[in-house]
Protein backbone atom coordinates (compact mmCIF):
# COMPACT_ATOMS: atom_id res chain seq x y z
CA UNK A 1 0.00 0.00 0.00
CA UNK A 2 1.24 3.48 -0.81
CA UNK A 3 1.06 5.94 2.01
CA UNK A 4 1.91 9.62 2.00
CA UNK A 5 3.32 11.42 4.98
CA UNK A 6 4.48 15.00 4.59
CA UNK A 7 4.31 14.62 0.79
CA UNK A 8 6.72 11.66 0.66
CA UNK A 9 6.17 8.14 -0.58
CA UNK A 10 7.03 5.61 2.14
CA UNK A 11 7.83 1.94 2.31
CA UNK A 12 6.52 -0.19 -0.56
CA UNK A 13 5.73 2.89 -2.59
CA UNK A 14 9.31 3.16 -3.86
CA UNK A 15 9.11 -0.32 -5.28
CA UNK A 16 5.96 0.76 -7.12
CA UNK A 17 7.70 3.82 -8.58
CA UNK A 18 10.74 1.75 -9.67
CA UNK A 19 8.44 -0.86 -11.24
CA UNK A 20 6.60 1.85 -13.23
CA UNK A 21 9.93 3.24 -14.48
CA UNK A 22 11.10 -0.24 -15.56
CA UNK A 23 7.79 -0.96 -17.32
CA UNK A 24 7.99 2.42 -19.04
CA UNK A 25 11.53 1.64 -20.23
CA UNK A 26 10.50 -1.75 -21.59
CA UNK A 27 7.47 -0.21 -23.35
CA UNK A 28 9.70 2.46 -24.91
CA UNK A 29 12.32 -0.08 -26.03
CA UNK A 30 9.86 -2.44 -27.74
CA UNK A 31 7.18 -0.04 -29.02
CA UNK A 32 8.25 3.60 -29.19
CA UNK A 33 11.91 3.82 -30.15
CA UNK A 34 12.67 4.62 -33.75
CA UNK A 35 12.62 1.61 -35.97
CA UNK A 36 13.11 1.48 -39.70
CA UNK A 37 9.79 1.32 -41.55
CA UNK A 38 8.88 -2.06 -42.97
CA UNK A 39 8.63 -1.97 -46.76
CA UNK A 40 6.20 -4.34 -48.46
CA UNK A 41 7.91 -5.72 -51.51
CA UNK A 42 5.65 -6.53 -54.46
CA UNK A 43 4.84 -10.22 -54.76
CA UNK A 44 6.32 -11.17 -58.11
CA UNK A 45 3.54 -13.41 -59.40
CA UNK A 46 0.63 -11.14 -58.39
CA UNK A 47 1.87 -7.56 -58.57
CA UNK A 48 0.20 -6.93 -55.19
CA UNK A 49 2.17 -4.56 -52.98
CA UNK A 50 0.39 -6.06 -49.96
CA UNK A 51 -2.15 -8.86 -50.05
CA UNK A 52 -3.23 -8.02 -46.49
CA UNK A 53 -3.99 -4.45 -47.51
CA UNK A 54 -5.97 -5.58 -50.57
CA UNK A 55 -8.07 -8.09 -48.60
CA UNK A 56 -8.71 -5.57 -45.81
CA UNK A 57 -9.86 -3.03 -48.39
CA UNK A 58 -12.11 -5.67 -49.98
CA UNK A 59 -13.79 -6.42 -46.62
CA UNK A 60 -14.47 -2.72 -46.10
CA UNK A 61 -15.83 -2.42 -49.65
CA UNK A 62 -18.16 -5.41 -49.21
CA UNK A 63 -19.41 -3.91 -45.93
CA UNK A 64 -20.09 -0.61 -47.70
CA UNK A 65 -22.00 -2.43 -50.45
CA UNK A 66 -24.07 -4.39 -47.90
CA UNK A 67 -24.92 -1.18 -46.02
CA UNK A 68 -25.82 0.61 -49.27
CA UNK A 69 -28.14 -2.31 -50.20
CA UNK A 70 -29.84 -2.14 -46.80
CA UNK A 71 -30.35 1.61 -47.20
CA UNK A 72 -31.68 1.14 -50.73
CA UNK A 73 -34.09 -1.52 -49.44
CA UNK A 74 -35.38 0.81 -46.71
CA UNK A 75 -36.05 3.56 -49.24
CA UNK A 76 -37.38 1.46 -52.14
CA UNK A 77 -38.61 -1.83 -50.64
CA UNK A 78 -36.34 -3.96 -52.88
CA UNK A 79 -32.69 -4.89 -53.17
CA UNK A 80 -30.79 -3.76 -56.27
CA UNK A 81 -28.86 -6.10 -58.56
CA UNK A 82 -25.48 -4.70 -59.57
CA UNK A 83 -23.56 -6.11 -62.55
CA UNK A 84 -19.93 -7.24 -62.19
CA UNK A 85 -17.67 -4.20 -61.91
CA UNK A 86 -15.06 -4.09 -63.43
CA UNK A 87 -16.20 -6.33 -66.28
CA UNK A 88 -13.17 -8.66 -66.04
CA UNK A 89 -11.84 -10.23 -62.84
CA UNK A 90 -8.63 -8.29 -62.10
CA UNK A 91 -5.13 -9.67 -61.63
CA UNK A 92 -3.78 -6.27 -60.57
CA UNK A 93 -5.16 -2.96 -59.28
CA UNK A 94 -7.68 -1.63 -61.78
CA UNK A 95 -9.84 1.45 -62.09
CA UNK A 96 -13.27 1.15 -60.47
CA UNK A 97 -16.12 3.44 -61.44
CA UNK A 98 -19.79 3.15 -60.47
CA UNK A 99 -20.81 4.11 -64.01
CA UNK A 100 -18.88 1.17 -65.55
CA UNK A 101 -21.67 -1.36 -64.83
CA UNK A 102 -25.42 -1.26 -64.25
CA UNK A 103 -26.85 -0.76 -60.77
CA UNK A 104 -23.87 0.87 -59.07
CA UNK A 105 -24.81 4.50 -59.80
CA UNK A 106 -28.34 3.88 -58.53
CA UNK A 107 -27.03 2.10 -55.41
CA UNK A 108 -24.87 5.17 -54.69
CA UNK A 109 -22.14 3.16 -52.99
CA UNK A 110 -18.81 4.93 -52.59
CA UNK A 111 -15.74 2.74 -53.19
CA UNK A 112 -12.11 3.69 -53.88
CA UNK A 113 -11.30 4.43 -57.52
CA UNK A 114 -8.69 1.68 -57.61
CA UNK A 115 -9.61 -1.92 -56.77
CA UNK A 116 -8.02 -5.35 -56.70
CA UNK A 117 -11.43 -7.03 -56.85
CA UNK A 118 -14.44 -7.26 -59.13
CA UNK A 119 -17.65 -6.52 -57.20
CA UNK A 120 -21.17 -7.79 -57.93
CA UNK A 121 -24.51 -7.93 -56.11
CA UNK A 122 -26.85 -10.86 -56.82
CA UNK A 123 -30.45 -10.53 -55.61
CA UNK A 124 -32.55 -13.66 -54.96
CA UNK A 125 -36.11 -12.95 -53.87
CA UNK A 126 -35.94 -10.82 -50.72
CA UNK A 127 -32.27 -11.55 -50.13
CA UNK A 128 -28.96 -10.56 -51.70
CA UNK A 129 -25.29 -11.47 -51.66
CA UNK A 130 -22.38 -9.18 -52.55
CA UNK A 131 -19.38 -10.82 -54.22
CA UNK A 132 -15.72 -9.84 -54.56
CA UNK A 133 -13.50 -11.73 -57.03
CA UNK A 134 -9.82 -11.50 -57.95
CA UNK A 135 -7.11 -13.62 -59.56
CA UNK A 136 -3.90 -14.20 -57.64
CA UNK A 137 -1.10 -16.16 -59.29
CA UNK A 138 -3.60 -17.73 -61.72
CA UNK A 139 -5.97 -18.81 -58.93
CA UNK A 140 -9.40 -17.18 -58.64
CA UNK A 141 -10.40 -16.03 -55.14
CA UNK A 142 -14.08 -15.40 -54.42
CA UNK A 143 -15.47 -13.78 -51.28
CA UNK A 144 -19.08 -12.98 -50.50
CA UNK A 145 -21.04 -11.14 -47.84
CA UNK A 146 -24.74 -11.53 -47.11
CA UNK A 147 -27.07 -8.95 -45.58
CA UNK A 148 -26.10 -10.07 -42.06
CA UNK A 149 -22.52 -8.96 -42.80
CA UNK A 150 -21.05 -12.47 -42.68
CA UNK A 151 -17.96 -12.82 -44.89
CA UNK A 152 -17.63 -16.14 -46.72
CA UNK A 153 -15.00 -17.58 -49.04
CA UNK A 154 -16.00 -19.72 -51.95
The SS3 assignment for 127 reads strand
C-alpha gyration radius of the chain? 25
Do residue 13 and residue 56 come from a single domain?
no
Using CB atoms within 10 A of its CB, is residue 44 exposed (0-12), middle (13-18) or buried (19+)? exposed
Residue 46 forms part of a structural domain: no
Range of 8's domain? Answer: 3-32
pTM of the complete model: 0.68
How many other C-beta atoms are found inside a 10 Å radius of the C-beta of residue 21?
10
Q: How does pLDDT run along the chain (154 residues), one tens digit per residue?
A: 455 555 555 556 777 778 888 888 777 767 666 655 545 455 444 456 567 788 888 999 999 999 999 999 999 999 999 999 999 999 888 889 999 999 999 999 888 888 889 999 999 989 999 999 998 777 889 999 999 999 998 7
Q: What is the pLDDT of residues 63-94, one digit of tens each?
A: 999 999 999 999 999 999 999 999 999 988 88
Please state, as a whole number, how many other Cβ atoms lie within 10 Å of the Cβ of residue 58: 21
Number of domains in the chain: 2
Q: Contact 85/100 with Cβ under 8 angstroms?
A: yes
Q: Are residues 111 and 148 both part of a single domain?
A: yes
Residue 61's CB is within 10 A of a number of other CB atoms, namely 22
Amino acid sequence: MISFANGQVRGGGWRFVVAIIIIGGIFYYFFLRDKEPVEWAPVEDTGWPSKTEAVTEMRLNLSAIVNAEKNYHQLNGIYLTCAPNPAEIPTERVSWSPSAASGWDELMVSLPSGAWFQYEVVVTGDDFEAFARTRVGGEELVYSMDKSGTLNTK
